[in-house]
Every structure is written in C-alpha cells, then in structure tokens.
Structure 1
Amino acid sequence: MILCAWITAGCGDTVNNDTVRYALEAEPATLDPAKSTALAESNVELALFEGLTRLDENEQPQPAAAERWEVSADGTEYTFHLRSGLVWNDGTPLTAHDFEYAWKRVLNPQTASENAYMMYPLLNGEEYFKQEKTADEVGVKALDDKTLFVKLKAPITYFLNLTAFHCYYPVPKHVVEKDPEIWAANDKIVSNGPFVLTRWIHSNQLQFVKNDKYWDKDKVKLANMLWPISESQSTRVSMVESGQANLTVEPPISEQERLTKAGLYHISPYLGAYYYSFNTAKAPFDNPDVRRAFSLAVDREMLVNNIIKGGKKPAYAWVPPGLINPATGKDFRAEGGDFVEYNPAKARELLAQAGYPDGKNLPPITILYNTNEMNKAVAEVIQSMWKENLNVEAELLNQETKVYLDARNQGNFQIARASWIGDYADPMTFMDVYLDENNDAQYHNPAYNELVLVAQHTNNQAVRMDKMHTAEKILLDDAVVLPIYYTTQPYIVQPYVKGYRWSILGTIDFKEAYVEPENQS
C-alpha cells in the first residue's frame, strides 16, 4: 500500500513544525523544464526554479531573476537586467548565458521538447525548431553576464507572462552538458528557486529544504517541505486526515460533502475548459446547423449539478472566467457574455433545417473519449440527452489516452472529448487553439484567423480584447466547440497551512507558505 510505504520510508526523517507536506498526485517523469509537461512536474519545478519573472497573486509577472527590463516602443525588443549575485544552488554564478542556453535548448529539435511552441514568439524561434534557421539567428542573446536581449517576431503583450512559464526557466549549462539525459531525474538537480531538492525516492516522496542561496530567501518561511506521492485520490485524502500530509488536490467527488463538513475542502479557480470538439470536415458535422443543434441539445446545468460537481461551472462560451481585460478592468468572460444555451426545441428545428428531421437520415454518430470514469459518465449522459432531445442514437468509443490523442491529431473522429488549460493568463491562450495550423477540428475560417492574428500582433490592449471578443463569437456561432464546463481546482488542506497560492494556471506556489505550529495537532 502506498500510504504504508510512504510512512515506512519517512519514519526516520525529521519533520519539523515548519514543514509543508503536500501529497503530490503523480510521480514526476522529469524535472527538466524543457521536457516536462504534467502539472505535478510544474509544481515541483516552481519550487525549484525561477525565471526572469514570477507571477503574483493577480497572475501578473513581477521581477524575479531579472530585476528590471526595458521594452522598445514597438514592443518587439526586450532588454532584461539580471540581479547581482545570482547563483545556482551549487554556488556557480547564474548568468544571462544560462537563459540564452536554456531557451535555445527548448527550441533545439534534438531536445524534442513538447514546449517548443511556447518559444515561437522569439524571432526565428519556430524556424530554428523546424531546422530552417540556425540557433545564432534566434532572437535571444546574452550581451554580457547580466544582460539578456530578446527580439520577438511581433509584439506580444503577454510576453512577460510567458517568461514565468517553466520552459523559460534557466538551466545550469555546466551540469546539463555533463549528463543531458538524467541531470533532472534525481535529487542532485541543480536549481535556482526558493527550495532545493534533497531527496527523491521515486514513486514515494520528495524532500526539499530552503535554498539559502536564493536571491529572495528572506521571504521564504519554510525550512523544509516533504511531499509524499500517490496517484490514489483516497490514499491522499487519508494522508491529509491522518497528518501524514496536510494538503492535496482532487479528492474524490463522493467525499466532497464529508470533507466540507470537516472544514478541509476548498475550491480554487482554474483556467480551463472541458468541451467536445466537432470535426468540421466530417459529415454530418461539416454542416454548422448540425453542430449548433447538437450543442443546443446539451443541458450543462444538469451535467454539472448531478454528474460533474466539484464546484465546476457550466460553460456557455469558450474563454473561461478569471481573465481581466486590461482596457476595461472587467472580466473578459463577464463582458463577453454567453454564446450558447440549452434549447431542445430550437435544436430540433436546426436539425430539420439541415435535412435531418427528427434525426432521420443522419449517418452513424460516435463520441470519442479517452478512458476515464468521469469522461465515460459525461459521454453517457450526453448520449442520453441527444436521444431524448434529437432522437439521435450516438455510439460511445473509449480509447487509451495515447491512441485517443493520435486519433484527434489525425482527425479520425466525429465528436471528441477534449479539455484545454491555459498556459498563461491571457485570452489568447484559448483563442489561438483554433488558428488554421493548430486545430484538430479542421476549422479554417479566414475571418477568425485575421481577428486572432491582429490581436496577437498589436500592443493596443483595447484593440486586442475587442478582436478576441469578436473572434470568440464567430467560433461559437460556427459551433466548432461544444463547451460543457469550466474547470476548478478542488483541494483539501489543514487550516494551519498558510501563505500558499494557487494560480489559475493550476500550479501552487509555496514560496511564502508557512505553518502555524500552535494550531497543528
């Protein structure tokens, strides 16, 4: 049993009152910022590393490794000035050359980084990844040990947000080049953030201590952290309730009421959407009226209240709430409003208008989803809704995740379950999903593309947000996606753990976390 194994492994360790014990939901596959993709890995890396900026409680980038920067008038050139005295936790100086090396390493096709696309805003970044340009032509250059010059291919107003993302972290060239495959796969990892990894018992636990060489160490209150690892939701709940851990994510839905009464259950905003994607190139979903009909026939309120739960919110548009329009100070979702609804009568009218009255003459319909109990439950309810509201028989097809993703990428589906979590705190992280070259829905709308590209390439926030609002309306009017719910981050925590911060991007920051010993049992 994982819980017993963790207790056995940890029984000889000294765990003081200043220790946060976060039950991690999965074993990190790697802690290499260039190669990691999972949220569990991002959380560990946020404790160990730090980029030029770090996001604050409002998801805004604040000076971190860079103490200041200048931006050119056209928004395409950034000059970052690093803090004096930055060092890696092994005492080696950390310089602008480490950032240049790290960023180009992400783009190097030999690295095979799944995060390479996040570097495409750099001049010639995409071209280098595609081996059309050289590394020397990429728009990042260390001018000296403390100065990093960045040239973008176009102005990106959220570029400073990107510099807080994990693939933009520096990596220690002097360590990576000695052992590029396993330098980040053990507890000898050299890093520059608030904490240092001191022990990694794979599939069991991670142990951290405060990094006394960190530039902002005075704000780090914890001397230690100890994170047990378990993929089992119930095991992690047991850990928190027994005191073997004091914080974890995603408790079972069945436990929500009991954990709420115990004062442990909380919900944090999470910038994500769960939806169905239509393949707009496959009949009958090459007809927008059919897509609209199927969307109108889904009762999102019922799904969320009875099946999904967990504080999730029914989705009636694409971009989730929680993103502020800098031009107006208002929430982007709130000012954009809803674009879809539940209206079975209108759904039947549209289906008849498309040539399929009462569902007659429709080709066979299949819902594709990756194997997961919740995905199955949602698909079964939607299958039932389409039968009741449209007289349509839909088949369910579940596939192992790797096969399912390949099917989506190849366009081998009619309707597929999907989810999208924002990479940075700007509506563009959702809007660019359906640009021509990106999307699995085979959606190609020149008007949509033009609006999104204008929003990508202007510094004018009022213009950006207006174009994205218009583009989102086009996307939903075309019924390319069938939004179902906006995600949240349910978690449980003992009340004596303070100062941690959940990001709407799903990560948890323990830099300023602390424990109130007098309240700890």
Structure 2
Amino acid sequence: MNKKWLLALMVTLLTMLLVACTTSTGEGEDEESNSENNTEENESSNENEGDEGDKKILYLNNATEPTSFDPPVGFNSVSWNTLNNLLEGLTRLDQSHEPKPAMAKEWEVSEDGQEYTFFLREDANWSNGDPVTAQDFVYAWRHLLDPETASSAAFLGYFIKNGEAFNAGEASAEDVGVEAVDDKTFKVTLESPTGFFLDLVSNPAFFPVNHKVAEENPDWHAEADTFVANGPFSLKEWNHDQNMVFEKNPEYWDADTVKLDEVHWAMVNDTNTEYQMYESGELDTSGIPSDLADQLLEGDDVTNEEQAGVYFYRFNVNEEPFQNKKIRKAFALAVNQQEIVDYITKNLEKPAYGFVSYGFTDHNGEDFREVNGNLIETNAEKAKQLLEEGMKEEGYDELPQVTLSYNTSETHKSIAEYLQETYNKVLDVQVELENTEWNVFLQDQKDLKHQFSRSSFLADYADPVNFLESFVTDSSMNRTGWSNEEYDQLIANAKSETDEAKRFEYLYEAEKILFEEMPLFPIHFYNQVNLQNPDVSGIVRHPVGYLELKWADKK
C-alpha cells in the first residue's frame, strides 16, 4: 500500500462512520449526546488542570458513547479509536503505519507461509499485574469467531484455519488454528498464505482478553473499575454517554515511551459545539464545521490527509422498488458526488466513483483505483431512461414509496436532503427521509429493515480485498440482501491466490460486478481533517488503522 500519508485527523469523522469496518465499517457511527453537559464536564476539567500539578493532559472528543470495549463487539471507530489506546495486539502500527512487534517481541513464519509462531514479551502485563499469556490470545480469538458472540468483525478471522467453519457452527472452538504452546508462545495456522497477516492482527478485533478476568466476569469490559488494559493507557473513569478519562498504564511494556499522563475524552456529537470547545481551549482537536470551512481550512492549525474508507449508500434489494437493477442504477446515476463534496461536506474529500479508495498499489505498483477507473459517473439523462425502463419491467405506473434512512448527524442530514432534492428534480420522485439514533439505525440496517440507507466503510487492514469482501453473500457487513455467485467466487479466489497478478485481476473484476449490479453507490472517499492545538504533537492517525496516542505529547 502507498504509505505517503501525512499525519492528520478529523474527529468529526467519528460521527460519519458506520463498521469495517466493512466494515461499513467495520462502521463507526454516532448518537445524540448532551452537549451542554459535556461542555460543563470539560470546563470543570480545564479549571482544575492546575490542581493536577505538571500532568500532561490531552483533551479529545469521541463524539459519542463507545458501542463496546469488548474488542470484537465494538466494531466501529467510536469504540476502536479509544480501545486501540487501551489494548494492544501481537503487532502495532508504528509512526510510518507499518506493523511492528508489540505484545509479540518476535515471530517465525513457516516456509509455506501458513503457520506463524509468536513469542510474547516476558514483561507484557495487564494493568492488574497479570502477565499477558498465549492463552489470552487463544481465548480472545475464539471469542471473536464464536457464533454466540455474533461479532460483525468475525469475518476478519476467516483467514485462520477453521475460523469460518467455527463461526458457521460447523466446527468446534478446538478446531480453530490457534494454540498456546506455552504461556509465552502462541501459534496460528492459516487457511492459506496471507501476506498482510501481520498488518491484520494489529486490528482491535485481534486484541487479547485477560481470560481469567473474563471467565470470572463476562462484563469486565463494561465499566472502568473492572476493565483491564494491556496498552499504553488504562481506563480511569467512564461516565457513560458523558466522558472518559484514560491514564498512563505503568504496567505497559513500553511505558517509558508514553509521554501523556491522561487523556480526557468528551462525547459531543455536534461539530459546531466541538469547534467552540476547541476555540475556548476545552479540546485540543476539532473537526471543521462546513459553514466555516472556507475561512478555517487555510489556517496554520489544519492538517489534511486521505483515509482508506468510503461514504456510501446501500439499497435493500429485497425491498421494492430496489429489487430492480435498473432502478438502483437510476438512483445512483442521478447523484452528483462532486457537488456534495464541493457544497455540502466542504472538507476537501475526493468524490468516489468506485468502492476501493486510493492508496492501494497492485503487483505493478499502480494504484488500484486508477487502474479500475471510474465505475459510476453522474448522468441525469441515463438515470431517467433507466428509471423508466425499470418501472416498465416491474409494471409500475407509479414508483412505490421510497424512504431514505440515516443516523443522527448534521452532515448525514444535509447529504440526505441533497439526495431528496436531486431525486425530485432529476427523476421526479418524492423521497421521504427517516432519521434515527445510531444504535437503532445500525441494528435496523443489519436486520435489513431499511429500504435505502447511508453507510460508511473504513479499511480494517491494508488490502483492497477488505473493501470488497463486505458484499459476499451472507456477510455480516453486506446489509443489502444482494447475492452474486460469480462475485463470491472471485473474492474467494482472491483470498486463496498466491500469484499477485492473478489476485488483483480477481479483485478488479469483482469491483466491476459490484457496480454493474449496483447494490450500493458511493459518495466520497474519507480523509482526515483536523484543527489541532499547536502545543500538541505526536498523534498518529493511520490511513488504515486507528488513532494512536502512544507517541503523543503536549507542551
């Protein structure tokens, strides 16, 4: 993957992401929070900062309550950006976004590339003093794949031998290719060679769980006083739906590198309020309100960089009228992505005309997005024609009522209103808008209760297959009801192919099928835009990955 990324952030992005995490994402999202209460909490924190001596405290916004701090359950950015600083896996992405030794000090790979043996650090401990053991990884990875966990991230474990079979109820936990050779030696057997495996296991879905604590208290992750960490920080306070406080974890093996004493997280789901808090010194970072973009984007405290992800809309192909491919295409072609990024989001995003974002290079060193080109482009006349043809095929004299669903966010609302106006103007179709809070919205989307809904995806690991595997039949990330045997086979071929040229051909063809069938259409690729306190340094925002505070500092 092209690693020419600048350090950047867009905290507001937390309010726009669904799980990638294909995760749409994997998809981080937002829900309403009490901005007034959050402001009071942060004012109190800052007023008392002087009482805390020379502590280095970073003030950030998490937008909303984390879905869960159980690693495979909180499959979205509002959980993972925070969780990534509390826990640590076998590898960790460094400042240049490459996987480096973390809980594992070193590893060996078999000649056939299918067996990894990880040797854990002797000084790797949990915040309660327990050693981090190989059994903690065995327990956690089986928990990820256990069908009872119902993790949206389980598909990430399908690279492990019998991982998919166990998740489907066709094998036992003992059949999964994970083994504790001894307390500090962890062996993993894969289904086939996977070149990005060391990158993959830096993902929070693969974080260890203190099995002794979890077996005694299955809800260990739900409160600050029961949470055990093995990362740079531990969870000092968690006032649900209001704020969190992290403190430096003295048990962390690399604690000497960690410069911050505490991180205070607000939960403010409004960009304007967030910006006001930044201006008053209550936050060290902020997103940029769209109505202030023109005057703020040129400031010295602004950084911008791409992120491996895409904002898009899903059709439910089991719901009328979107069972018809031509009608789906009509709704997709009517939309002008360039207008949305120029006049609505105004955050320097690139319009998306494919699903895989920029930044992934193939076997020839060429960018995937540039090679596969634009797979969708605005065409109002073609949209009208396709709608007419689709309605004729279905015998519609009048199009069934269409409802566009989105979760609470001013940005989501603005884009939805633009689409509503576009469909009225271009297609002469009246679209109703439906807004619900994040947790309800996400569950309804997973249950295929939405007819037409917004979504997002952030890459879980650095390979284009991660984007495309979301739409195989019955994937927890599909959420469209769409199924295509040829597409499924191409993704399966890509996952097992060791010849890189053939592997990328499978992926190129799969993306083309996705847009020929159009169970979705994209709006823009994500980037990371941030206003940041000049006194703050060392925050790392991975293009594929998560917010890193291990190296952060504050004057």
TM-score normalized by structure 2?
A: 0.83
Measure how far apart 1:184 and its partner are. Answer: 4.8
Contact 2:87 2:230 in 1 (8 A): yes
Match of 2:100 in 1: 62
Residue 120 of structure 1 aligns to a residue whose secondary structure is helix
Please point out which of 271, 277, 291 is paired with 2:328.
291
RMSD of the alignment, in Å? 2.9
How far apart in 1 are the matches of 2:110 and 2:507? 24
Partner of 1:425: 462
**How far has the Cα of 1:351 moved from its partner?**
4.0
Query: What is the Cα deviation at residue 447 of structure 1?
Result: 2.0
The residue correspondences of 1:72-91 to structure 2 (distance < 5 A) are 72-91=110-129
Higher relative contact order (CA 8 A, sep 6+): 2
- Distance in 1 (CA, whole Å) between partners of 2:302 and 2:58 is 17
Residue range with higher mean Cα deviation, 397-406 or 444-453: 397-406
Does structure 2 conserve the Cα–Cα contact (< 8 Å) formed by 1:267 and 1:489? yes
- Mapping for residues 108-507 of structure 1, pairs under 5 Å: 108-187=146-225, 189-248=227-286, 250-260=287-297, 262-325=299-362, 327-354=363-390, 356=392, 361-372=397-408, 373-401=410-438, 404-438=441-475, 439-505=478-544, 507=546
Instruction: Indicate if the aligned counterparts of 1:356 and 1:362 stay in contact, CA closer than 8 A.
Output: no
Change (3 A) 1:205 1:333: same
Alignment-mate amino acid for residue 50 of structure 1: E
Alpha-carbon distance, 1:290 to partner = 3.2
Name the residue aligned to 1:27: 65
Question: Is the 2:137–2:207 Cα contact (8 Å) retained in structure 1?
Answer: yes
Counting matched residue pairs gives 513
Give the conservation status (yes or no) of the 8 Å contact 2:236–2:246: yes
Structure 1 residues 206 and 404: CA distance shift in structure 2, 3 A: closer
State the match for 1:39 in structure 2. 77
Query: How much has 1:393 moved relative to structure 2?
Result: 3.8
Taking a change above 3 Å as real, the CA distance of residues 195 and 160 of structure 1, as seen in their structure-2 partners, is same
Deviation at 1:492, TM superposition (A): 1.9
Structure 1: which 5+ runs fail to align? none
Distance change in 2, residues 1:306/1:296 (3 Å): same
What whole-Å deviation, never above 9, does each CA across 1:452-504 have from its counterpart, x for those lacking one?
Answer: 11001123333222211111112112223222222223322111211111122
Aligned mate of 2:547, from 483, 508, 519: 508
Residues 369 and 375 in structure 1, CA contact (< 8 A), matched pair in contact too: no
- Note the C-alpha offset of 1:245: 2.5
Structure 2: distance between partners of 1:471 and 1:235: 42
Q: Percent identity?
A: 35
Aligned partners of 2:52, 2:185: CA distance in 1, in Å? Answer: 42
How far the C-alpha of 1:275 sits from its partner, in A, is 1.9
d(CA) in 2 for partners of 1:206 and 1:306?
35
With over 3 angstroms needed to count, the CA separation of the structure-2 counterparts of 1:281 and 1:33, relative to structure 1, is closer
1:127-185 Cα deviation digits (max 9, x unpaired):
33444432222210110122111122333333222211112111222322332213551
Partner SS state of residue 48, structure 1? coil
The two structures have a TM-score, normalised by structure 1, of 0.88
Name the aligned partner's letter for residue 342 of structure 2. N
Q: Structure 2 stretches of 5 or more lacking a match?
A: 1-35
Q: Which has the larger radius of gyration?
A: 1
Helix, strand or coil at the partner of 1:161:
helix
Instruction: Tell me the secondary structure at the aligned position of residue 68 of structure 1.
Output: strand
**Measured at CA, do residues 468 and 205 of structure 1 come closer, stay the same or move farther in structure 2, by a change above 3 Å?**
same
8 A contact 1:268–1:502 mirrored in 2: no
Amino acid at match of 2:402: T
Structure 1 letter corresponding to 2:488: N
Task: Say if 1:266 and 1:491, in contact at 8 Å, map to a contact too.
Answer: yes
Measure the CA separation in 2 of the matches of 1:179 and 1:30.
Answer: 15
After superposition, what is the alpha-carbon deviation per residue over 1:204-263, rounded to whole angstroms, capped at 9, x for unaligned? Answer: 443334334333334333344333443343343233222233124x34322334443553
Indicate how the Cα distance of structure 1 residues 387 and 116 shifts in structure 2: closer, same or farther if over 3 A, else same: same
In the alignment, is the contact (CA less than 8 A) between 2:327 and 2:391 conserved in 1?
A: no
